[in-house]
Amino acid sequence: MNNNYVLIMAGGIGSRFWPMSRTTHPKQFIDILGTGRTLIQHTYDRFLKIVPKENIFIITNDIYTGLVKKQLPDLSASQILAEPIMRNTAPCIAYGCHKINKINPDACVVVAPSDHLILDIEGFVKSINQSLQTAAEKDCLITLGIKPSRPDTGYGYIQFNSATINGDFHKVKTFTEKPNIELARTFIQSGEFLWNAGIFVWSVKNIIKAFSQHLPEINDVFNEGEMVFNTEREQEFIQRAYYQCTNISIDYGIMEKANNVYVLPSEFGWSDLGTWASVYDIADKDYVGNAVMPSERVIMYDSSNCMVSVPKEKLVILQGLHDFIVVENNNTLLICPRDEEQSIKQVVADVKQRFGSEFI
C-alpha cells in the first residue's frame, strides 16, 4: 500500500491578480503563464510524479468544486473536499488530514498550495520524497524553505539553527511574516534564513497530535466526524463543522508553537506567483524589459519594463510607458505602476464598494 498522500489547497480568491482573477474564477484555475495548463493542473501534474492519482486530494471552497472537476477530471468526487466558508489554512488542513487518517492511519501527507510555480520539477520531486521519508521515520513536522536569492519583502522567512535530523533537516528557530527591506537584508546576510514556501510534510499521526496540543478546539471538531469521513454523510457534517472553527493559519496556530518543526533548505525554481510582479520576474522579456502575454497584437513605442497581459484578439498600442502593469480581462482594464501593485487589494475593495460584486 502506498502510504504517501497529497493535499492541495485550492480555496483562495487570488485578489492580487485582479482583474484576471475573479471571485468566481480565481487564479489557480487560470493559465496565467500561457502554457496551456492552469496553475492547479500544473500542481496536480507535479504530484503525479510522487503519488498515485487516487492519493491526491483537493480542498477548495464549495463554489469551486465544479471548476476542480472540470480541470482535474481524473479525480473522484470523494477526492474533492468542499469547504462551506473560508477559515484559513488550519481548519482545511485538519479536515484533510483527519479524512486521510481514516483511510490510512500510517499515511504521510504533503500539504501544498495549488497556485505556485516550480521550474525544477526533478529537484522538487527529490525534496518532497526526501521529506516524506523523514516524516515517516521521525517525530517531526517538516516545512520546505527556499534558499533566498534577494531580500524580498513579499515572503515570510524561516530561521533555522545547526541542529539537524537525517542530515539535511534543520531545527526551526523562528518564523517571521513579511519583513521590511532592512530586516530582509539582515536576514539574507546572516545565512540563517529561508523563504517560507508554505509546503508542509508530516505523518497524519504527528499533525493530529500537534492539533490536539496547540489547536484542541479545531481538533475536537474534526474528531467528531471520524465516523462520517469518506461516507455520504461527510459533506453534511462539514457544513456544520466549519462554522465551529476559528479562522487561523497553520503557521500561526501550530508551526510557530510546536517544538518539533524542521525545515529542508531547497532550491527548485520556486515562486509563489503572488503578484503580477512575480509573473513579470519569470516571464520572457524583450530587449527593453517588456513582458507581453500574448504579444501578437501589442505594439510598444518608447516603453520599457512593463508587464502587459491583454486578450489575444485585442490590438493594444502603448507609448511612453515605463515600469507599469497593464492588464485587461473580464471587461476591466487596470493600469498601475509596478512598484505600487500592493495597492491592488485596496482597489478591489473600492470597486466592490462603488459597483458591487459585478466586477470582482
Share of residues in the chain with pLDDT > 70 (%): 100
**Mean pLDDT, to the nearest integer, of 33-61?**
96
Using 50, 70 and 90 to split pLDDT, how confident is the model at 178?
Answer: confident
pLDDT at 282: 87
**Angle value at C-alpha 324, between 322 and 325, nearest 5 degrees:** 155
Above 70 in pLDDT, residue 81? yes
Task: Over range 328-345, report the average pLDDT.
Answer: 89
Q: Please tell me whether residues 158 and 253 are part of one structural domain.
A: yes
Mean pLDDT of the chain, nearest integer: 94
Both 220 and 339 in a single domain?
Answer: no
Q: Which of 228, 254, 271 is the last residue of a domain?
A: 271
What separation in angstroms does the CA of 279 have from each of 179, 196, 222, 336, 343?
Answer: 21, 18, 37, 15, 17
Q: What pLDDT shows up at residue 1? A: 63
The whole-number pLDDT of residue 290 equals: 96
Backbone region of residue 198 per phi and psi (left: phi > 0; alpha: psi in -120 to 50; beta: other values): left
Q: Are residues 212 and 313 both part of a single domain?
A: no
The whole-number pLDDT of residue 275 equals 84
- In whole angstroms, give the CA distance from residue 222 to residue 218: 7
| Single residue among 246, 271, 296 that ends a domain in this structure | 271
Q: How many separate domains does the chain show?
A: 2
* Domain of residue 95, CATH code: 3.90.550.10
User: Do 109 and 40 belong together in one domain?
Assistant: yes
Q: Are 5 and 79 in contact (CB under 8 A)?
A: no
pLDDT value of residue 13: 83
The average pLDDT across 82-95 equals 96
Check whether residue 181 and residue 312 sit in a common domain.
no
- 103-107's contacts with Cβ under 8 Å and 24+ in sequence apart are 103/230, 104/1, 104/3, 104/5, 104/204, 105/204, 105/205, 106/3, 106/203, 106/205, 107/3, 107/4, 107/5, 107/203, 107/204
Please report the pLDDT score of residue 326 as a whole number.
Answer: 95
Residue 35 scores a pLDDT above 90: no
In contact, 17 and 8? CB cutoff 8 Å: no
**Do 323 and 257 have their domain in common?**
no
Tell me the per-residue pLDDT of 124-150, one tens digit each, with 9 for 90 and over: 999 999 999 999 999 999 999 999 989
Q: Is the pLDDT of residue 301 over 80?
A: yes
Domain coverage including residue 79: 4-271
Helix axes 204-214, 89-103, angle to 10 degrees: 140
244 shares its domain with 319: no
